Amino acid sequence: MEVVDEEETLLKFVLAVQKHNKQQWQLQALQQQKLHEQRLLMQQQQQQILQQQYRHQLQQQQAQQIMPNHLKGGIVKQQRR
């Protein structure tokens, strides 16, 4: 018959629980970091889309200002000489 040391058994149990808790904490921290990075990436993508839309609108406005009057109507009118 084997003698069981209650203190040693209890200590092993406590250490196992502590190890498990530490692993869970690390996993949760890693998941939070990943979530933060995904949110940041989404914000950056949205910002790029908005910048592209703004540039496109600006280019359209500039093109309308530069375009000669006879082209603004969408139909090229022949100019008589």
> Is residue 40 assigned to a domain?
yes
Question: What local confidence, expressed as pLDDT, does residue 63 receive?
Answer: 83
- What distance in Å separates the CA atoms of residue 61 and residue 71, rounded to the nearest whole number? 14
Looking at the structure of the chain, the number of domains it has is: 1
Tokens 């496109």 appear where? 56
The model's pLDDT over 4-14, given as tens digits with 9 standing for 90+, comes to 799 999 999 99
Query: Is this model's pTM higher than 0.75 or not?
Result: no
The model's pLDDT over 25-71, given as tens digits with 9 standing for 90+, comes to 999 999 999 999 999 999 999 999 999 999 999 999 888 887 666 66
> Is residue 37 assigned to a domain?
yes
Residue 77 clears pLDDT 60, i.e. is over it: no
Question: What local confidence, expressed as pLDDT, does residue 1 receive?
Answer: 62
- Domain with 30, as residue range(s), is 24-50
> Is residue 3 assigned to a domain?
no
> Is residue 77 assigned to a domain?
no
